[in-house]
Structure 1
Amino acid sequence: MKVRADYTCPLELVHDMIKGKWKPIILWRLRLGATSLAKLEQDIEGITQKMLLEHLKELIEYGFVDKRTYLGYPLHVEYFLTENMGKQILEALRIMQHIGIEYLKKSGKEQELIAKNVIPD
């Protein structure tokens, strides 16, 4: 993804960096720690490996995510949040998660949140 040269404000830039259906979900999953591509694909319901790889590549380019490659066979790669931007963006995602939870509760979907282990029973 290309970064535009002109922005109205820095928020517009960050929005472009993490926009899309999957990037915030990938970042949110990585809050749990470093993990393999296969585990990310398994944990994020509905994402294809192609889309996951594309988004991981962009998140790495922007500095939110990094990867560690272990030698050997089979090759093992782990993806993780970077200390600076990766962990900082979690503050914004936590707020967004909280807003989503509150909205769903008010909409009568608390049982769905409990069933998905988003909130405790």
Structure 2
Amino acid sequence: MKGNHYNIPVEATLEVIGGKWKVLILCHLKNKKMRFSELQKSIPQITKKMLTQQLRELENDGIINRYVYQQVPPKVEYSLSDIGETLREVLDIMCAWGEKRINNQA
């Protein structure tokens, strides 16, 4: 991210959490640690390939942690990292806004 030029600060945020799937993944992870299969069931429209890609990008950006348990069969869990936790307030506000919008359309 160093050396990138942004016209407005929100561009730096969107560079990390922008797109169709990342915010959905983060909203699920803000509530609890989840395994890949749990995330996939929670977001049925996402393909395995896309979920894998988005999780890797979020991990590379330091937003989520990937913990591999040394057992057979392998077990992997994802959770918000300390940096990811700093997005909690933003995610909560987005969820509340969406809930109000849904309720106003009913």
Query: Are residue 77 (structure 1) and residue 71 (structure 2) matched?
Result: no
In structure 2, C-alpha distance between the alignment counterparts of 1:38 and 1:96, rounded to whole Å: 25
Deviates more, 1:19-28 or 1:3-12: 3-12
Partner amino acid, structure 1, of 2:13: V
> Shift of residue 107 of structure 1?
1.5
> Shift of residue 9 of structure 1?
2.8
> Shift of residue 3 of structure 1?
8.5
**1:93 equivalent among 82, 91, 94:** 91
Query: Are residue 34 (structure 1) and residue 33 (structure 2) matched?
Result: yes
What's the TM-score once normalised by structure 1's chain length?
0.80
> Shift of residue 93 of structure 1?
1.2
Bigger-Rg structure (1/2)? 1
Q: Which runs of 5+ in 1 are unaligned?
A: 109-121
Query: Are residue 106 (structure 1) and residue 93 (structure 2) matched?
Result: no
The 1:32–1:22 alpha-carbon spacing in structure 2 relative to 1, beyond 3 Å, is same
Q: Which runs of 5+ in 2 are unaligned?
A: none
User: What's the counterpart of residue 43 of structure 1?
Assistant: 42
Identity of aligned residues (%): 32
User: What's the counterpart of residue 12 of structure 1?
Assistant: 11
User: What's the counterpart of residue 116 of structure 1?
Assistant: none
What's the TM-score once normalised by structure 2's chain length?
0.91
In structure 2, C-alpha distance between the alignment counterparts of 1:94 and 1:4, rounded to whole Å: 30
Query: Are residue 58 (structure 1) and residue 57 (structure 2) matched?
Result: yes
Cα distance per residue 1:54-104 (max 9 Å; x no partner): 000110111110111111211111111012x21111210111111111112
Higher RCO, 1 vs 2 (CA within 8 Å, ≥6 residues apart):
2
Partner amino acid, structure 1, of 2:50: M
